[in-house]
Amino acid sequence: MTTISQKLSQLSASITQTTASIDAIPKITPDPSPSGDVGTPFDLTSFTTLASSTATVIVDVNSAVTTNTNNISTLTTTVQTNHKNITTPPLLNTLSTVIAVPETGILPVDMSLLTTVVLGKLSASVTKWNFINLPTENGVVATAKLILTGDAAKTYADACSVNGADVVGGIKWVNAAAPTATAGIDVLTFTLIKDSQGVVTILGKLDANFS
């Protein structure tokens, strides 16, 4: 007849054997990280803590922004547009300002700020647009906008130069021809492109006869 003492001894041996079996279970190791480092091994008991872990959100806004669900306001603040960083080009003159065109008819247009807006009335017809102070490095785009009080007797040139060097083919106008001035307000827009190889192209457009 098995005594209580023997039962307890058998139970203790069974517990010891079970513990040894659990210890023999292989550890679970995550896949190597992109850098080749192996992550820290963790055993099955670590799963008991996963349920209480805080979720993490990773969002790439220019650079990676990490925030957990308890701090989502940080992300909201980060992606708001900072309107104070938006700049507008300076506006030169008024519509009644006389823009003095030299006797040669070559009108200089300063592109040092990359975006130029000029108001005024031409004193004479333009025979060539001379865009000056455009940055010398390649890969540049600049815009010049001339808002002119119209005079149908004036003409707008097709020829142009950049920093003193003539551009072969001149302005590439919409509809492939230099536009005609009107008696209303004319808006001339020039887009200057200097590509990665240094080739210069100037596109021209006239929005005419605002009145």
Using the predicted structure, report yes or no on whether residue 181 has a pLDDT greater than 90: yes
18 vs 47: CA distance, rounded Å: 20
Q: Which range among 42-46, 56-60, 116-120, 143-147 shows the weakest confidence by mean pLDDT?
A: 56-60
192 vs 175: CA distance, rounded Å: 18
Q: Could you report the per-residue pLDDT of 156-169, keeping only the tens digit for each? A: 999 999 999 999 99
Give rounded-to-5 percent helix, strand, coil for the chain.
20, 35, 40
AA identity, residue 6 = Q
Determine the distance from the C-alpha atom of residue 94 to the mean position of all C-alpha atoms in its chain, rounded to a whole number.
Answer: 32
Using the predicted structure, report yes or no on whether residue 6 has a pLDDT greater than 50: yes
AA identity, residue 78 = T
In angstroms, what CA-CA distances link 134 with 33, 111, 130, 141? Answer: 48, 5, 11, 9
What residue spans define the domains of the chain? 4-84, 91-210
Residue 18 three-state SS: helix
- The topology (CATH level 3) of 91-210 is Jelly Rolls (2.60.120)
pTM of model > 0.75: no
Beta-bridge partners for 116: 144
Helix boundaries (H) for the chain: 4-23, 72-79
Winning range, highest mean pLDDT, from 57-71, 74-88, 121-135: 121-135
